[in-house]
């Protein structure tokens, strides 16, 4: 089989960038976007140092895409990570190892950590676990367990001295099936799961005095599905929600951080 120069280059760059959890995985994005993202990050870090302005370190899965090139957000991507396994040693995605590799570069006295996880749990794993146990454990109980596990990471970061915020998951898509994305359950079931997940995650954050960014409040319609105006695709929010996220963090932390 003939391997092209572009395929070799793409593979080499992917291996190099995977050490930092790069959000770009194909050749075109690596060549034309990643260098500019690196430059943007350097400028953002320099401005933060010169003017003592807080950086919001967004740590998450593919749902941090809308934050690309948006100040004051600096991205740390962990591919295929779940909220449930974020605090698990040697998970498939190695999410705990990646998370811990990002933390030493975060200025605890100046910056903010924004966690963006849980959508894949709600879209796939919660309903899958419900079916695996033949409904003996309710979906609400499975969500409780997932939020509790996610909460272990949130609490640990807070206890370690980081200022932490939590990004709620986006609403479910009103789609019955999409060939290249794994949906489990009916659209209505996934909407109920996403809504309940956000409800429980928000309650945990309030009990823990952690700012919770309720993106569902602005991006869901009356049936709990993602509004078209906020949709980048069937799963991800677009950049329209970023102003709301930033304003929510600034309002919650205006007496703790200089934005």
For the domain that residue 146 is a member of, what is the CATH number?
3.40.50.1110
Give the count of domains, the chain. Answer: 1
For residue 233, being part of any structural domain is answered with: yes
Q: Give the range of the structural domain holding residue 220, as residue numbers without chain letter.
A: 52-253
For residue 24, being part of any structural domain is answered with: no
Q: Name the strand (E) or helix (H) holding 48.
A: helix 34-51
Question: What's the whole-model pTM score?
Answer: 0.87
Q: Is residue 23 a contact partner of residue 75, using CB atoms and an 8 Å limit?
A: yes
For residue 40, being part of any structural domain is answered with: no
Cα three-residue angle 98-104-106, rounded to 5 degrees: 100
For residue 178, being part of any structural domain is answered with: yes
| Residue 179, pLDDT score | 53
- DSSP codes, 9-28: HHHHHHHHHHTTT-S--SHH
One pLDDT digit (tens) per residue for the chain, 259 residues: 444 444 444 444 444 444 444 444 444 554 556 678 888 999 999 999 999 999 999 999 999 989 999 999 999 999 889 999 999 998 988 999 999 999 999 999 999 999 999 999 999 999 999 999 999 999 999 999 999 999 999 999 999 999 999 999 999 988 765 556 667 888 999 999 999 999 999 999 999 999 999 999 999 999 999 999 999 998 999 999 999 999 999 999 999 999 9
Classify residue 155 as exposed, middle or buried by CB count within 10 Å of its CB (0-12, 13-18, 19+). Answer: middle
129/135 Cα distance (integer angstroms): 9
4/121 Cα distance (integer angstroms): 37
| Cβ neighbours of residue 148 closer than 8 Å, sequence gap 6 or more | 204
Q: Is residue 127 a contact partner of residue 185, using CB atoms and an 8 Å limit?
A: yes
For residue 238, being part of any structural domain is answered with: yes
For residue 27, being part of any structural domain is answered with: no
For residue 8, being part of any structural domain is answered with: no
For residue 162, being part of any structural domain is answered with: yes
Nearest to 129 by CA among 118, 116, 140: 140
Q: Name the strand (E) or helix (H) holding 165.
A: strand 164-167
Strands (E) across 52-163 are located at 56-60, 73-77, 112-116
């Amino acid at each position: 089989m003939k391997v092209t120069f572009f395929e070799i280059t793409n593979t080499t760059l992917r291996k190099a960038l995977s050490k930092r959890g790069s959000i770009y995985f194909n050749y075109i994005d690596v060549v034309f976007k990643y260098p500019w993202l690196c430059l943007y990050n350097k400028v953002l870090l320099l401005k933060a140092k010169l003017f003592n302005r807080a950086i919001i370190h967004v740590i998450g899965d593919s749902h941090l895409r809308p934050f690309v090139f948006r100040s004051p957000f600096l991205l740390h991507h962990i591919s295929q990570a779940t909220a449930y396994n974020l605090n698990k040693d040697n998970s498939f995605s190695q999410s705990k190892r990646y998370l811990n590799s990002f933390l030493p570069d975060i200025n605890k006295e100046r910056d903010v950590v924004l966690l963006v996880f849980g959508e894949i749990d709600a879209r796939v794993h919660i309903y899958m676990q419900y079916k695996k146990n033949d409904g003996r454990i309710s979906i609400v109980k499975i969500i409780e367990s997932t939020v509790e596990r996610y909460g272990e990471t949130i609490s640990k970061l807070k206890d370690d001295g980081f200022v932490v915020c939590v990004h709620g998951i986006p609403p479910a898509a009103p789609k019955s099936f999409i060939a290249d994305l794994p949906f489990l359950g009916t659209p209505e079931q996934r909407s109920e799961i996403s809504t309940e997940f956000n409800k429980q995650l928000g309650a945990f954050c309030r009990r823990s005095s952690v700012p919770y960014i309720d993106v569902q409040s602005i991006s869901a319609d009356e049936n709990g599905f993602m509004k078209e105006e906020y949709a980048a695709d069937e799963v991800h929010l677009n950049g329209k929600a970023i102003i709301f996220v930033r304003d929510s963090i600034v309002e919650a932390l205006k007496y703790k951080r200089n934005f």
